[in-house]
Chains A and B, each alone.
Chain A
Amino acid sequence: MKGLKIIVLAKQVPDTRNVGRDAMKADGTVNRAALPAIFNPEDLNALELALRIKDNNPGTTITVLTMGPGRAAEIIREAMYRGADKGYVITDRKFAGSDTLATSYALALAVKKLAPFHIVIAGRQAIDGDTAQVGPQVAEKLGLPQITYAEEILSFRKEEITVKRRLERGVETVSAPMPLVITVHSSAPECRARHAKYTIKYKRARSLSELQDTSEDYLQLQKDRPYLVIQEWSVDDIGADVEQLGLSGSPTKVRKIENVVFAGRESRLLSSSDDDIEDLMKELITNHTVG
């Protein structure tokens, strides 16, 4: 197959994996400053899958879509350094507070704006919200079939793609016609490193919000080299109904948030007495560590 059009969905997330003991403030809230914003790990697997398709199918273009604050353009640049062709940041205050239903509504509209396309590739799960719901929900909103937990693309034949899926207790090989949505599992190949040529080419790619924060004159640069523009889309650009976004478009509400990390976290010494063990078990139940 030649020249596919692939859309990769990628999210910028706080790095919740190596949460050190300084990641929680004394008052029990998340210390975001101690958590660097990163490219969601499984979205890098998704990008690699797209890049491999591109390697084998010259003429393929990869467009990265991310919804988030203006600085999420960082991950679009990061994707371009590795071989993606362009990207869009869907950004608007009206998106704030969106749950997975509202997020997938917005992403699906943005994907439709880029139609026609062959494949939408997402990560399986983002490491902050941790739901793994957005991929299948985008597929449903687009009325497309989905292949979740993809590990490897085995072949392309005519309009059909064959994919190996990684399930809890095994693997499954499935074939599906395009267009479709694929979500990628962390067992898929790791993403390649930045490519020197692309890194030089896209180093100065910027979104509009990023330009507002800089004194350098990028406008002339972007006029000369349009590929340095990372476009931003607002609610109006994707033609979204505001009622279906943000808090009003989100059926799930967070009623309460508790921190599971103990204040202080100093080590406690206990004896094997019944009282000590009962207190421990009660504490673990109360703070939801067990039960």
Chain B
Amino acid sequence: MHNIFVYCEIEDGQIAEVSLELLSKGRFLANRLKCKLEAVVLGDKLDNIGKQIMPYGADVIHIADDKRLYPYMTLPHSAIVKGIFEEEKPQIGLFGATSIGRDLAPRIASALKCGLTADCTALEIGNHTENKTKKEYRDLLYQIRPAFGGNIIATIINPDTRPQLATVREGVMKKEMLSPDHKGVVKNVDPGKWLKDEDFVIRIIERHIESRKVNIKNAGIIVSGGYGVGSRENFQLLYDLAGVLGGEVAGSRAAVDGGFIDHERQVGQTGVTVRPKLYIACGISGQIQHRAGMDQSAIIISINNDPDAPINQIADYTIIGDLTEIIPKMIKYYQKNTK
């Protein structure tokens, strides 16, 4: 009772990355709250799924294995998750902020009349004193999220209702395996208990899901490289930085023309227009055609060995120097100060 539940999504027979990230975060929170971590998986042919989840620290795995449960459909999945939550009374429920999680979680929150916080970028445990009544609440989930187009960060709490539900985007939490030997209990759920014929009124006629595709447009953090990066090999540095920050890699046209990265990642007038909360321009001079695609970014960092590069005029921070020296330091000091 009162455990932490993670709704796990299935992608090509595998647990989705975002779900593994949430399990990792869930494990951390469960240790903090001294409760159990439980996973919920709904799908078809889930024989091996328990093995994928356990190393991430789940103590209990609820599996509903039924061919009607894949691919995902709103009504059957929400009926079952709601049913499990009503029986198990979790204190926290986590969902990916994905096409699936953002379709499902609001329905659950509405049905259970509980709070749901969208697109959290951090989850912490803390206490709260209600201003008016001075009532004390212990061990609430602080759900930290950007809103207002990314211009503010709000800390949201649900003092009085349970479960406390939150969605989190892929790449925000860190995926960390607890132990390859961690063992949990599998509980097979009979979906028939909660499903009704009406839950299948929507029919999927066709699906085209592409394998992972670059999406720099929606990335909150973009590490972008220009001709100054020098080579395709050096671009690995940018991928490393983007990896630890949870961002995407992009580039200027000169970097694309130079064969350092693919055209789908080009930012600018003849590429994609992006508006991330953080744009790190590495070895980009900042010609107008490039700036047209990124000057609305909330914060711009320029890394350039030329103090007079035009990009510096619109940058909030300009680091003067060689990017091959600076980027590894950014990774190092990011990691040192987050943990």
> Is A bound to B?
yes
Residues of A within 8 A of B (CB): 14, 16-19, 23-24, 30, 99-101, 104, 127-137, 139-141, 145-149, 162, 167-177, 250-262, 265, 267-272, 274, 276-278, 280-282, 284-285, 288-291
Task: Give chain B residues whose Cβ lies under 8 Å from the Cβ of A14.
Answer: 148
Task: Give chain B residues whose Cβ lies under 8 Å from the Cβ of A289.
Answer: 277-278, 298-299
| Interface check B1, CB cutoff 8 A | no
Measured in the bound complex, the distance between the Cα atoms of B154 and A262 in whole Å is 16
Ordered by A's residue number, 25 sampled pairs between the chains whose C-beta atoms are within 8 Å are A19-B298, A130-B148, A137-B109, A145-B74, A146-B103, A146-B107, A149-B99, A168-B98, A168-B215, A169-B213, A172-B71, A172-B207, A251-B160, A252-B143, A255-B128, A256-B155, A261-B298, A267-B313, A267-B315, A269-B307, A277-B333, A281-B330, A288-B122, A290-B245, A290-B334
Question: What number of A-B contacts does a CB cutoff of 8 Å give?
Answer: 248
- Cβ contact within 8 Å between A176 and B209: no
Task: Give chain B residues whose Cβ lies under 8 Å from the Cβ of A149.
Answer: 99, 103
Measured in the bound complex, the distance between the Cα atoms of B165 and A100 in whole Å is 13
| Interface check B38, CB cutoff 8 A | no
Minimum C-beta distance from B233 to chain A (A): 21
The 7 closest A-B pairs by CB, nearest first: A16-B149, A272-B321, A251-B115, A170-B209, A252-B115, A131-B118, A140-B110
- Cβ contact within 8 Å between B152 and A258: yes
Looking at the complex, which one of A169, A258, A277 makes contact with B209 (CB distance below 8 Å)?
Answer: A169
Measured in the bound complex, the distance between the Cα atoms of B318 and A291 in whole Å is 20
Check A251/B337 contact, CB under 8 A, given A133-B106, A140-B106, A280-B317. Answer: no
Q: Is the interface of A mostly helix, strand, loop or mixed?
A: mixed
Task: Count how many chain B residues have C-beta atoms less than 8 Å from C-beta atoms of the other chain.
Answer: 88
- Cβ contact within 8 Å between A288 and B154: no
Looking at the complex, which one of B71, B161, B209, B319 makes contact with A280 (CB distance below 8 Å)?
Answer: B319
Check A265/B322 contact, CB under 8 A, given A101-B110, A168-B98. Answer: no
- Cβ contact within 8 Å between B319 and A270: yes
Measured in the bound complex, the distance between the Cα atoms of B206 and A253 in whole Å is 40
Interfacial residues of chain B within 293-317, with CB under 8 A of chain A in the complex: 296, 298-299, 301, 307, 312-313, 315-317
Task: Give chain A residues whose Cβ lies under 8 Å from the Cβ of B322.
Answer: 272
- Cβ contact within 8 Å between A137 and B106: yes
Identify the stretch in B180-188, B196-204, B250-258 within 8 Å (CB) of chain A at 4 or more residues: B196-204
- Cβ contact within 8 Å between B114 and A140: no
Minimum C-beta distance from B75 to chain A (A): 6
Measured in the bound complex, the distance between the Cα atoms of B118 and A128 in whole Å is 12
- Cβ contact within 8 Å between B210 and A170: yes
Looking at the complex, which one of B78, B161, B312 makes contact with A267 (CB distance below 8 Å)?
Answer: B312
- Cβ contact within 8 Å between B111 and A140: yes
| Interface check B138, CB cutoff 8 A | no
| Interface check B91, CB cutoff 8 A | no
| Interface check B133, CB cutoff 8 A | no
- Cβ contact within 8 Å between B158 and A251: yes
Minimum C-beta distance from B237 to chain A (A): 14
